[in-house]
Structure formats: structure tokens, C-alpha cells
Structure 1
Amino acid sequence: MFMYVGVSFAADATTVNGYVSDSKCGAKGANAKAAECTKKCIKGGASMVVVTDGDQKVLTVSNPDVLTGHEGHHVAVTGEVSGDSIHVDTVKML
């Protein structure tokens, strides 16, 4: 007889609202007018980040392909936050 028992330890999903920016500009790029600058900086090697509303915390996006096309957008992202980074599962325009 074969028995398989799987255990999953999924982290709690967190939703944060904020602007998609880049690691070079950070909170300075957290506005809709910075979209082109954000795209340029990311193309130049900067990391994609989400700058949270309110406290302006800068979270590095561990899977930036999910947010490609949302540079400079105000979004709600849901995913796993770990320290100063987020792995985004879903994104919704605000």
C-alpha cells in the first residue's frame, strides 16, 4: 500500500496599493507622470519596485514580468511580502 501525504505551507497573501516604479528613482518615481522614466531606468538595469501608498515603502518585485506594462501605474498588487521584496501573484489597476 502506498500513501502520499503532502503538506503545503503557503504564506499569507498580502495586498498593497502603490505605484510601480524603479529602484533608481524609488519614491520619487511613484506617480503617473514617471512612466516613461521608469521604463527607461528598468531597461537600463534598475529593478522594478512597488512604492506603497501612505508609508512610501519600496518593495522590490521578485517577478517583474508580471508588472511589465504597468510602469508608472497606480495598482493593487497581491502576493507574498518578504522583508523589502514582494512576489506578485495578481495586479489590479486602481
Structure 2
Amino acid sequence: MKRIVLVVLVLTLALGVAAWANGASDKGAKPATAAKASAGATTVTGWITDDKCGAKGANAKGEACTKKCIAGGAHAVLVNDADGKVWAIDNADAIKGHEGHHVTVTGHLDTTKNSIHIASMKMAAEAPKS
């Protein structure tokens, strides 16, 4: 009887140590979704404008028009400086106060919808000459 109790105690202790060691090694690991999300982040510099004007409004002169159109219900877009591509902004609350501005954004592009989900944004250093 003592032998059975001793074997059960040793097995319980061994399993407990193994579980503790496995849990300790996972503490520094990132969840798979967080690693995947950060891997897809892209940085784009361009103009925040509206879907009515698109690339035509991608300049410093278009700020007032962009603000008016977005306030009137138009959807916000980002016009990439590098290639002129227009990306729909799928989280418009992220650009509040930056309508018509030249910005650098970091976010996740959805090429099937031609949209970007903005994670962070800052004013761009200098607007390109138009």
C-alpha cells in the first residue's frame, strides 16, 4: 500500500513539474494572432482625402473640400504618394482631425477590398511638390 501511494505521489510531482516548465516557457511567447497581425503592417505616406475627389484632392489645396465632403457623408481615403493608389479607410474614426492632411500611416492593407485599417498615424515630414 505504501508503495502505491509513493508511486502516485512521484507521478503527481513529475506531472506538476512538467506542466510548470511548459507554462514558464510560454510566458515570453506572443500569441499567434498578435504575431500574424504585426507581420502584415505596412507604412504608407499620402493624403487623406474623400472618395468623391480621390487623387484630385490629394494636395494642400484640397483640405477644405475634403473636410466638407467627409462631413457631408463621403468616405475617407488615403492616396499613396508613391504610386497614386487610392486606399479606402475602413476605420474612419482613426483620421478624425486629419482630413485633407499629408500623413504617414501604419496599418493593414486589404488588397481584395483596396482598403487600409489604420493602426497609427502621424503628420508627414514634408508634402511632395505638386
Do these two structures clear the TM 0.5 threshold for a shared fold by scoring above it?
Answer: yes
Provide the residue aligned with 1:90 in structure 2: 120
Q: Give 1:7 shift.
A: 3.1
Kindly indicate which of the two structures has a greater share of residues assigned to helix. Answer: 2
User: What RMSD, in angstroms, separates the aligned Cα atoms of the two structures?
Assistant: 1.9
Give the Cα–Cα distance (whole angstroms) in 2 for the partners of residues 12 and 91 of structure 1.
16
When Rg is computed on C-alpha atoms for both structures, the one with the higher figure is 2
Deviations 1:13-47, CA, capped at 9 Å, x for gaps: 00000000000000000011111100111112110
Give the Cα–Cα distance (whole angstroms) in 1 for the partners of residues 43 and 54 of structure 2.
19
Q: Give 1:86 shift.
A: 0.3
Kindly indicate which of the two structures has a greater share of residues assigned to strand. Answer: 1
Letter in 2 for 1:77: V
Give unmatched runs, 5+ long, in structure 2. Answer: 1-15, 17-25, 125-130
Letter in 1 for 2:100: G
Provide the residue aligned with 1:13 in structure 2: 41
Number of aligned pairs?
94
Identity of aligned residues (%): 55
Give the Cα–Cα distance (whole angstroms) in 1 for the partners of residues 106 and 32 of structure 2.
23
Give the Cα–Cα distance (whole angstroms) in 2 for the partners of residues 36 and 69 of structure 1.
12
Moved segments of 4+, more than 6 Å = none
Normalised by the size of structure 2, how large is the TM-score?
0.66
Normalised by the size of structure 1, how large is the TM-score?
0.89
